[in-house]
Structure 1
Amino acid sequence: MAGNTGQPGASVISRALALLNAFDERHRSLTLTELAERADLPPATAYRQIKELVDGGALVRNSNGEYMIGRMIWNLGLLAPVQTDLREVASPFLHDIYAATRATVHLAVREGDRVLYIDRLSGHASVPVVSKVGSTLPMHCTGVGKVLLAHAPADVYERAMTTLTRVTPFTITQPLRLNEQLSRVRRDGYATTIEEMTLGACSVAVPITVGTTVIAALGIVVPSLKRDRPRLTAALHVAAQGISRSMTAT
């Protein structure tokens, strides 16, 4: 929640940003009162600002009278150069992997201390997952997240180690154990999860690099990795290398 936005000196833009930042993964829809409280704004001020955001398409009001992020915000996000170029370049590779496996395929980047899903392919035969395009999840319990955390800046890495929340009974919450896993990710070039984010779902993911920098992660979610992990890892590496070459050429 933003502080001091209710003070007389706060600008219109800072108040609008505070209202938009009131939404997160756990707060996808909010009432007027909740928005005002989370943005630290007087209800009357929040109401006027929200009305303008709704009129402009930045917010929408659902049938329950609660407010949600509007499509305009997502459309603007897609204009970010790295994400736009990356999604366009990676798209055919994601489709190739999905066509060969019929499993959920993820393309993700790091956003702050979380993993942001910028593309996903899945079908009726895919394992159910909680990820959605545009959503964020913890890094320590997702395959793509572990790849990104293994190559994250030191301050991000340190914060993550102090906030290892348990999502399922199999989520790794011991810093030493996770640190060992992330060391193997850097050494072996791939990460795995076993029911750490969703029961019945396992994943394997690899990094996408440009030069020596890991810019994203490519992953796949399946019911089990006992038999197919080498095959899936090899396919992901081939796709990641293709995406890396294409990104370098753009």
Structure 2
Amino acid sequence: MRSTQRDGVPDSVVGRAFALLSAFGQGDRTLSFAELSRRTGIGKATAHRLLHQMAEWNVVEVSADGVRIGMGLFELGLLASRPFDLREAATPFLADLYRATGETVHLAVAEGLDVVYVQKLEGRNGPSMSSRVGGRMPAYCTGVGKALLAHAPDERVHAVLRQDLPRRTPRTVVARGLLERELGRVRETGIAVEYEESMMGISCVASPITAGGGHVVAAVSITGRANRIDIPRLAPAVRTTALGISRSLDDRFDRNDRALIWPRDRWR
């Protein structure tokens, strides 16, 4: 939370409103006022007042069953040009990769010290995964995250390495020296690999996507069952897809003022 906080609760009205919205997690279609208050630490009366105000703008919907995210918030989300332009450029390449492999394909961008998935094509007969469009995962333990982190500014890499790195599975790389060496290999090869680090039974291979003179703006990956996915065979296909998307994005580059249509640094 970027706003000022007191005892973990944002002081500002805007901060509290965003805290309430951020309390919704994957699979949470409807939450009660009491549950939203519990998750955020915001008093019930304050939560009740803010949520009813947001309902007037259709940001949330309030009913006898509780509170759910409203269509107004979805419509605002569609105005976020960077993910939309990226998805538009990437869609045909992602579709080709999906058809060629039958595995789950992800497209992700950096946000803070995490990655956010902006597109997901569910693999045929693939494993169940917690990833979803709009969902977050830590950068250090995912293929797309490593592909992005390998090209992040030094201060952001150091910020990741300074924080506690929870061991999400027995195979999660949490030793900082090992992770640094792995990021170095990603920079050399253009390929990032995850072997059951974010979820047991799941492995993936990823590659960074560039735009505007080589600046890394996103990453693409293939994910499948760890005991079945052939990473050495699939890695060239993922790399080729990343290069194709990169060329497509370069074609959208504004050659008059040399400015990208999205911010250059999302590691903030």
Deviation of the 1:69 alpha carbon: 3.4
Query: CA 1:200 to 1:42, structure 2 compared with 1: closer, same or farther past 3 Å?
Result: closer
Structure 2: how far apart are the matches of 1:137 and 1:63? Answer: 33
Q: Deviations over 1:154-193 (max 9, x none)?
A: 2321221122111111111111111111111111111001
Deviation of the 1:125 alpha carbon: 1.3
Q: Do 2:89 and 2:245's aligned partners in 1 also have CA atoms closer than 8 Å?
A: yes
Paired letter, 1:101: T
Deviation of the 1:224 alpha carbon: 3.8
Matches for 1:17-166 after TM superposition, within 5 Å: 17-23=18-24, 31-36=32-37, 41-60=42-61, 65=66, 67-161=67-161, 162-166=163-167
Q: Do 1:103 and 1:127's aligned partners in 2 also have CA atoms closer than 8 Å?
A: no
Query: CA 1:63 to 1:41, structure 2 compared with 1: closer, same or farther past 3 Å?
Result: closer
TM-score (norm 1): 0.86
Structure 1: how far apart are the matches of 2:29 and 2:128? Answer: 20
Query: CA 1:99 to 1:186, structure 2 compared with 1: closer, same or farther past 3 Å?
Result: same
* Segment drifting more, 199-208 vs 30-39: 30-39
- The answer for unaligned runs of 5 or more in structure 2 is 253-268
Secondary structure of residue in 1 paired with 2:108: strand
Matched residue, 2:245? 243
Deviation of the 1:31 alpha carbon: 3.9
Deviation of the 1:39 alpha carbon: 5.2
Query: CA 1:49 to 1:102, structure 2 compared with 1: closer, same or farther past 3 Å?
Result: same
- The answer for unaligned runs of 5 or more in structure 1 is none
Structure 1: how far apart are the matches of 2:84 and 2:92? Answer: 14
RMSD of equivalent CA atoms = 2.8
Query: CA 1:26 to 1:142, structure 2 compared with 1: closer, same or farther past 3 Å?
Result: farther
The alignment of Structure 1 onto Structure 2 pairs a total of residues equal to: 246
Deviation of the 1:30 alpha carbon: 5.0
Paired letter, 1:152: A
Secondary structure of residue in 2 paired with 1:129: coil
Deviation of the 1:40 alpha carbon: 5.8
Q: Deviations over 1:225-246 (max 9, x none)?
A: 8883233111112211111111
Secondary structure of residue in 1 paired with 2:140: coil
Query: CA 1:80 to 1:225, structure 2 compared with 1: closer, same or farther past 3 Å?
Result: farther
Secondary structure of residue in 2 paired with 1:116: strand
Query: CA 1:241 to 1:51, structure 2 compared with 1: closer, same or farther past 3 Å?
Result: same
Paired letter, 1:48: R
TM-score (norm 2): 0.80
Q: Do 1:6 and 1:42's aligned partners in 2 also have CA atoms closer than 8 Å?
A: no
Deviation of the 1:78 alpha carbon: 3.0
Deviation of the 1:51 alpha carbon: 1.2
Q: Do 1:106 and 1:218's aligned partners in 2 also have CA atoms closer than 8 Å?
A: yes
Secondary structure of residue in 2 paired with 1:221: strand
Deviation of the 1:198 alpha carbon: 1.6
Paired letter, 1:173: V
| Percent pairwise identity | 41
Structure 2: how far apart are the matches of 1:198 and 1:32? Answer: 32
Structure 2: how far apart are the matches of 1:41 and 1:49? Answer: 10
Matched residue, 1:173? 174
Structure 1: how far apart are the matches of 2:63 and 2:187? Answer: 44
